[in-house]
Amino acid sequence: MCHGKVLDITYHDLAKRKESVLMFMAFKKTPDHLLDAAYHRQKGTINGVSECIIMGIPMALGTGLMKLLHRSRPFKAPLKRPLLFKTKRFQRDVVINCDDDIINKQTLINSVMNRLEFPSFVFFIVSVSTINGYWSNEELLRRFNALHRQFPRQSKLYTIGNSVQGRPLFVLQFGGQGRKFAPKVKLVANMHGNEVTGRELLFDFATYMLTSERSRVKDVLRRTQIHVMPTMNPDGFVSAQRGQCDGVVGRFNANGVDLNRDFPGLDGNWSRRLQPETSSVARWILENKFVLSMNFHCGALVVNYPYDAYYFGEAHPIASSPDHDVFVSLASAYARRHFNMSYSVEFEGGITNGARWYPVNGGMQDFNYLYTDCFELTLELTTCKYPQQDPRRLEWRMNKEALFGFVASAHMGVKGVVIGANGASVDIVVVGKETKNATCDAFGRFWRLLEHGRRYKIYAVSKDGAKRSESVNVHLRNRRNKDAKFIKLVLR
């Protein structure tokens, strides 16, 4: 018995390719011919060398002279029939509205199969697109809701409030299930209604994190709780004009207020009345102990870090914070991982201090750092605010690695628990950074982002100064994207 593979094809075999099913299969003919042959129960004789090799059966040796003298039935070529897929009774036009919850290949296949009446086996090519390129607020919500329904155990869809015109400010939460010390990361887009690229980019990121089979993605997802808000200003988006790269139409909310000038800032002014969107987001920030945050904008290509405003009387060109080194490290890492941001001519290394670029009072970036333990960066995605053509796919490829690395950076620094706090307010003090202390949650847990490769002295002290822990010396080695150093502090 001989086994093997066909290395060449003879003229005889080439001629038989027209009717031999085995030849179709051996020489990689298209599957529709094989399906057609199976449907019509076509039979093929095994009388050639190549066919015997394909089937793995004994073949005749010698010249085959006896077969030439043998009287055999004349060969009749099968009648030509139209291919099965060219037969109209087997064709169906399946129309899938873009409103349907089509978010991945399997869901698409199920949607098509549910609308067919006959299938035992089906081959099809489908293209799904959005006619207008960009998703409306309603479509955006449906997409995120469909993603949540696909992963109901791993995700949660909730609303923190409504816009001036009553549109929901929704958030998709995923990751960190059952982990007591999983740091919280938030990503917020579309704060200015006419800066649109971040809306769908965050959907791509959420889909990637929930569907990826890569071990590094699963590891970060397991250890990190991520909150995604794709639009903070849905009213402004409705009024924005497509193709307008530099205008301000749609920038403000329905009351004509710039939301990135509406937060309490360095002046500590909490007396003024906040806009509904600002109030909802500020309450959300204060009620959740976020560790890391990114605010997505458009109009340039740069990563912006605090402070966005100068203190009164400050004359330095850079409005640096006590954690200037951490912010520069986070911003530089994002720019380097980005496809081309670090090659910027306008901004050295693709990063800038907010106030040095242009001062902004009442920005959300400063609010996060001043009043919570959250470190927020502002990402300017594209130089055009509302491109005529949706750059979603291109921007996702350019930002994918940088965004993933940024979220993983929530594990740099230290985390831990304070024993003896008993719900009291406690500061986590890092010697050398005393002007910016971290705080504990109701369970005594804390997180503090710190630059790696350095040594720190850390202790806990109650707000009234009555209790204090012993100082702990911590050496943070260069182990980015690993778990933060865990420390335990006991108040005495």
pLDDT (tens digit per residue) in 104-134: 545 555 655 555 544 444 444 443 334 347 9
Residues 263-289, mean pLDDT to the nearest whole number:
91
| Alpha carbons 336 and 118: distance in angstroms, whole number | 53
347 DSSP assignment: S
Please report the beta strands in 6-151, taking only residues with DSSP state E, as ranges in sequence order.
none
- Active-site residue identified among 51, 376, 380, 395: 380
Q: For position 129, what pLDDT does the model report?
A: 37
Whether the per-residue pLDDT at 168 is higher than 70: the answer is: yes
| Of 64, 61, 49, nearest in space to 16 by CA | 49
Backbone angles phi, psi at 77, to 5 degrees: -70, 140
Q: Rg of the Cα trace of the chain?
A: 32
Residue 195 falls in the annotated catalytic set: no
Residue 460's pLDDT band (boundaries 50, 70, 90)?
A: very high
Mean pLDDT for 82-100 is 53
**What is 137-411's CATH number?**
3.40.630.10
Amino acid at 323: D
Q: What is the DSSP string of 381-435?
A: --SSSS-SS--HHHHHHHHHHHHHHHHHGGGSSEEEEEET-TT--EEEEETT-TT
Please enumerate in sequence order all residues whose Cβ is within 8 A of that of 436, keeping only pairs 6 or more positions apart, or say none: 321, 322, 323, 369
pLDDT band at 384 (very low <50, low <70, confident <90, very high): very high
Can you tell me the distance from the alpha carbon of 477 to that of 292, in angstroms, rounded to the nearest whole number?
20
Query: Angle at CA 131, nearest 5°, toward 129 and 137?
Result: 95
With a CB cutoff of 8 Å and minimum separation 6, the contacts of 33 are 24, 83
DSSP 311-325: PTT---SS---TTHH
Q: Report how far apart, in Å, the C-alpha atoms of 89 and of each of 2, 31, 83, 113 are.
A: 44, 19, 12, 17
Question: What mean pLDDT do residues 257-275 have?
Answer: 88
Among residues of the chain, what percentage have pLDDT more than 70?
72
Give the whole-angstrom CA distance, residue 289 versus residue 445.
10
pLDDT of residue 305: 97
Residue 35 has pLDDT above 60, yes or no: yes
Q: What is the pLDDT of residue 11?
A: 44
The average pLDDT across 5-27 equals: 55
CA-CA distances (angstroms) from residue 440 to 9, 175, 370, 463? Answer: 76, 22, 16, 11
Q: Are both 137-411 and 414-490 of the same fold?
A: no
pLDDT single digits (tens) 391-417? 999 999 999 999 999 999 999 999 999
More confident residue, 85 or 74: 74
What pLDDT score was predicted for residue 138? 96
**pTM: predicted TM-score of the whole model, two decimal places:** 0.74
DSSP structure class, residue 2: -
Contacts of 142 (CB under 8 A, 6+ apart): 99, 101
Q: What is the mean pLDDT of residues 230-251?
A: 96
In the structure, what pLDDT confidence band is assigned to residue 64 with cuts at 50, 70 and 90? Answer: low
What whole-number distance in Å separates Cα of residue 162 and Cα of residue 141?
13
Mean of pLDDT values over 29-36: 62
Report the candidate in 350, 331, 338 with the shortest Cα–Cα distance to residue 398: 338
* Spatial contact of 103 and 143, defined as CB atoms under 8 Å apart: yes
CB 394 within 8 A of CB 464: no
d(CA 383, CA 245): 8
Q: Could you read off the pLDDT of 309-337 as tens digits, one per residue?
A: 987 656 578 889 999 999 999 999 999 99
Strands 485-490 and 414-419: parallel
Query: Strand order of the sheet with strand 445-448?
Result: 445-448, 414-419, 485-490
Query: Residue 295's beta-bridge partner residues?
Result: 188, 378
The number of angstroms, rounded, from the C-alpha of 9 to the middle of its chain's C-alpha atoms is 50
> How does DSSP assign 206-256, residue by residue?
HHHHHH---HHHHHHHHH-EEEEES-S-HHHHHH--TT-SS--TTTS-TTS
* Domain 414-490: CATH architecture, name and number where available: Sandwich (2.60)
Domain borders along the chain are 11-85, 92-129, 137-411, 414-490
Q: Do you know the residue count of the chain?
A: 492
